[in-house]
Amino acid sequence: MSKPPLLFIHGMWSTPHVWDWFADRYRAAGYAVHVPALPYHDIDPAEPPPAILATIGIQDYVDAVAAVVRTLPESPVIVGHSMGGMLAQKVAEATGARGLILLSPGPTAETQSISLAPLRTVFGIAVKRQWWKQPTKIDAERARWGIFNEVPFDVANAEIAKLVWDSGRVLFQMSMPWADKTRGARVDYGKLSMPALVVVGDRDRITPIAVARATARALTGHTDYREITGAGHWLFHDPVREKVAAEMDSFLRQL
């Protein structure tokens, strides 16, 4: 069969640039690669947040990515990191997919795991009054601790400088799905029977390995699960990204 298109979804406070190395690699290997920006994420990190980020929710992100999927000539493999891993599942539920690759996946309503590390990571946001009704951006100190742990200091600093504003409502829907009347983070796993790969660092703090393990158990198709020793949440630096790419290559050859 022909190589399927690859569609990459970035995570919270992030932008499509995180996929540059992977996008170049897979284009060179003959894949059609698509890397859309989530709504209102294609902005200068120094700019003030768009006001709409106070109200936009998970379904708005899903609808935007699903619209891209529906323009493709064939069903893609959907690749997501962090919140993008949660969104990848929601998009595949809506549109179908040739396969799923979930890297450090954020929790759905069904794959939540209680842990202090994620709370410590977002504590600077969670103590703000009505944070769920505001745009959010993680501060450098907590980003370095919870997202960029195990990442070289200079690489972490460069990436922290690129973080953008995101939706407080989306963070609320992901972190407290039991309080979300819209059930935005819920996934019908009966519809996710396509082959899947789940990859997580064993030192991930913001989306701990318990979430990745629960995700792998919830998926109803053949699922490969891999933990990368010594890696944190950020999987985009050497030598970690080479290990991730090797797992992705092996998975893609099976499709």
- The number of angstroms, rounded, from the C-alpha of 60 to the middle of its chain's C-alpha atoms is 15
3-state secondary structure of 71: coil
pTM for the model:
0.97
Q: Which residues contact 41 (CB under 8 A, 6 or more apart)?
A: 10, 14, 15, 16, 164, 166
Judged by phi (left if over 0) then psi (alpha if -120 to 50, else beta), residue 183 lies in left
Alpha-carbon distance of 19 to 8, in angstroms, equals 7
DSSP state of 58: H
Q: What is the pLDDT along the chain (255 residues), one digit of tens a residue?
A: 689 999 999 999 999 999 999 999 999 999 999 999 999 999 999 999 999 999 999 999 999 999 999 999 999 999 999 999 999 999 999 999 999 999 999 999 999 988 889 989 998 998 899 999 999 999 999 999 999 999 999 999 999 999 999 999 999 999 999 999 999 999 999 999 999 999 999 999 999 999 999 999 999 999 999 999 999 999 999 999 999 999 999 999 999
Per-residue tokens: 117? 């590390």
DSSP state of 3: P
Helix (H) / strand (E) containing 153: helix 153-160
Alpha-carbon distance of 255 to 252, in angstroms, equals 5
pLDDT of residue 1: 65
